[in-house]
Each structure stands twice: as C-alpha cells, then as structure tokens.
Amino acid sequence: MSKTAEDFLVKADEKAFDVAHRKTINFNIGRYNTAVERGLSKFENLENSKKKAHTIKWRVMENLDKLLPEFEANFQKRGGKVIWANDAAEAQKEILNIIQKAGGKTVIKSKSMTTEEIHLNEFLEAHHIESLESDLGEYIVQLLGQAPYHIVTPAMHLSKEQIAELFHEKFGTPIDATPQQLTQKARELLREKYLTANIGISGGNFLIADTGSIALTENEGNARLSTTFPKIHIAIVGIEKLIPSIADLDLFWPLLASHGTGQNLTVYNTILSGPRQVNETDGPEEMYVVLLDNGRTNLLAQKEQRQALYCIRCGACLNACPVYKNIGGHTYDTTYSGPIGSIITPHFKGMAEFKHLSYASSLCGKCSEVCPVKIDIHKMLLLNRRDAASTHENSKTEEIGWKLWKKGMQKRSLMDMVGGKAKNFFLKRFFKKSWGKYRSMPEIANKSFAKQWEEKQKNPES
C-alpha cells in the first residue's frame, strides 16, 4: 500500500467519526439539495438536456485535435496569445515568464481549480510574488492555509461561527459578526487589490471554439474585476473544457448553474475574447490562455474512460456521494475530490499512487444519476480497479489473495476442503484489522450450504 493510500485511510477514519465536521457538511449539503431540487424543476425535460450535453462533449473529445486549433486561431485573431502546457511545471514556468517580463509583483486571482491543480499560489510565493484569492470561499481557505474543500464551495466545511472567529483573529472584526458583515470586510480588503495588482489570473468554465472565447460563470463579480482591472489577464484552462459553439452555452450554463448551486443561471456570466480592443474602454492590455494538459491526454487515450473528461465541474457528484459526505474533501488529498476526483486523479497523477481512490466508493450509482453530462462515474471506478489489477499496481499480498479466492470460487470442492473453523481463523487472522475494526466479523458455518445439501439428499429424514 502506498503512503498516500495509508494517509487516506487514517484521515478517513478520523473524519468519519468527527461529529462536528459531519454536522457542518451535512447541514451545508442539505441546503444545497433543497436549492438544486428547485433549480432542476425549471427544466422542461432534464433528461433530454443531459443527453444532449453528453453528446456534445462526446463530439468534442472525438474532435479535440480539430477544435483546439480552431479555438487558438479565433482567439489569436483578436490579439490573444495561446500557450500550450504539457504539465504543471511547464504551466508554472510560462506564467512566471509573463509576470517577470511585465515586472509584476502582485497577482489577483478568481476561483480556478486548474490553478489549484498546478499549485500556482505556492509556486508564485516561492518566487516572491504575492498571489491573492478574490473568491470569498477561496480567500477564507487561503487565510487558513488550506486547500479548497470542494470543487464549487471551497469553504463548505466551515460554519459561519468558525469564519467569524478567523476574521476576528486576522482583522479584529467582532467575534459574533454576521455573514453580511464578514462579506463586507472581505470586500473592503480586496477592493484595493483589484486596483493595484499587476496581473489578473482566472480559470475558464468553457472554451468556445467558434468564437475563440473563454466563458466564466460566478456569483460574486470578483472574476470580472480580476480580469478587467489588471493590465494583463492570464486564463489557465484544461484542454477538455472546449465546447464547439457559443450557442452551446444556452445548454451548458443552465446545467452548470442548476447542478452546482441550484440557480437558473449564476449572477455573473462573462465571455472574454481577447485583450481590450481599440474601440473598447476597459479590459486588459494583454490576454493569455494557457491550455493545460497535465495528464488529460493520458485519459483521452483510454477509449472506455475518456468520458470522465466530459465533466463540467459542477460538484453534484460530491454532494450526492455518501463517502464524500462522511470523510470530507481534504481527506482525498487531491485537487479534485469526491467521485469525479477518484476517476480522473489516477490518470492525471499515476495509478500506482492513487488507485485507492477508486475503492473509496459504495458503488451506489448516485454520482452517475446526478451528473449533468451523464458520465458513468461508478462504471469508471470499476474500470480503474480493473486497470490497477491488470497492470499489477496492487500489492503482492492482494494479488495472491484474489488468485486464491478465484481458484476456490471456480471449484466447489476446493472451497469445501477447508472447514468453517479454519476459514474463521483465516478471516480473523488476516482481515480483522481491515474489515473488523468497527464491526463483528462474520461467522462462517462449519459446513457449506452445498455440503449440507448433499448430506440432506443422502439422508432425507435427517
């Protein structure tokens, strides 16, 4: 077992029995469920919308080699610059080059999971560049020195009392400050940063091929400020975020909003197609889009599993997952947690180190049921398990154990060769730690059902 897997089990054990944590997360997810149920009711035919979205994303993945150059060409026509990054190190290097060339010292960021993926804040800090999160949830976890807890709501694990305590310690606000007061304080602190930052950095919810644009969706307006005031705007976007046409936003924006927060549409929806033009009054002087691979082509090469790249990062599968709701987002120790993180991380960061995430599932299928683009998430988890076994990423003990089990299951006489007492001893000796920590181990009968049936047929009266 890898060190990552061992840490995962320890953290999962701690969080599963942390009553306060479970109370907070279940309360917040409960409010989400109420809002989403209301939001989804606005669709005339939700199932057809999801099928259409699935088909569009399928077409994108089958034609990624054509659509990416189309996006690049259309974006460059309006003065934008495109940078292709194979991995996190390349993306970091290119972003640093842009900042240093401009003499930048401060960066203001809107919410972006791709920047979390390449650990951009830590990288820039190591090069003496201030990088500040402007999304309220991201700002809160940055103050705590934590990673985002959730794809959509980074501070979902915190109560309003805990946030009030944090602001009291950091900024001297009243210990009993209301959410409105805390938001106002964050607004005051951040507003100056928009005006003074040299560089604005964002992600991108969608890349639009036919117009060469990036589409951003948000609720706070911070992304608009982060991409408008600074002289240079850098967007870091995964290559899978493409949609063929601007007309497709008519489908994808409502799907993302309703499944992510329960809204018909988020408050601010922005389409950016390059730097400020001659006849425009605001916007950056330079705009770059960093197209990030970082393992995505590894997943694209897996024909059965590439549909994991259809994900639009709504977070619905996290909120539906019984495992996530018990162990929380930080336990996964990955950028993308929950069911979607469990299926893409082994392909992004290596099966040997992260195969254990594919086993962190009840296989209830709820994640697949709620997915707005109809990804067969629970099937992908099984395919990851298959791949780990076929490439011998499992431990020798595990492989030997499954071989013995398979051999016994294929031949009844071998199963009956060993009595119930010996089987019970074997279970308690080798599986008590993993299976019996919080429950009684099953007691196997001295004789199998097949053996008992055979004896009954020979002696019906008994």
Dist CA 10 CA 17 (whole Å): 11
| Domain positions in the chain | 42-294, 396-458
CATH no., domain 42-294: 3.40.50.10420
Q: What is the mean pLDDT of residues 203-232?
A: 96
pLDDT given at position 456: 86
pLDDT given at position 352: 87
At 149, give phi and psi (nearest 5°): -85, -25
Across 147-168, b (16+ Cβ under 10 Å) vs e yields bbbbbbbbbbbbeeeebbbbbe
pLDDT given at position 46: 97
pLDDT given at position 104: 94
Strand order in the sheet with 199-202: 81-85, 286-292, 232-238, 199-202, 106-109, 130-133
Label residue 282 by pLDDT band (50, 70, 90).
Answer: confident
**pLDDT greater than 70 at residue 383:** yes
**pLDDT greater than 70 at residue 462:** no
pLDDT for 169-186, tens place per residue?
999 999 999 999 999 999
Helix count and strand count (H, E) for the chain: 23, 10
Tell me the DSSP string of 342-409.
Answer: HHHHHHHH-HHHHGGGGGS----SHHHHH-TT---HHHHHHHHHHHHHHTT-S-HHHHHHHHHHHHHH
Global pTM value: 0.90
pLDDT for 402-424, tens place per residue?
788 888 888 877 777 777 888 88
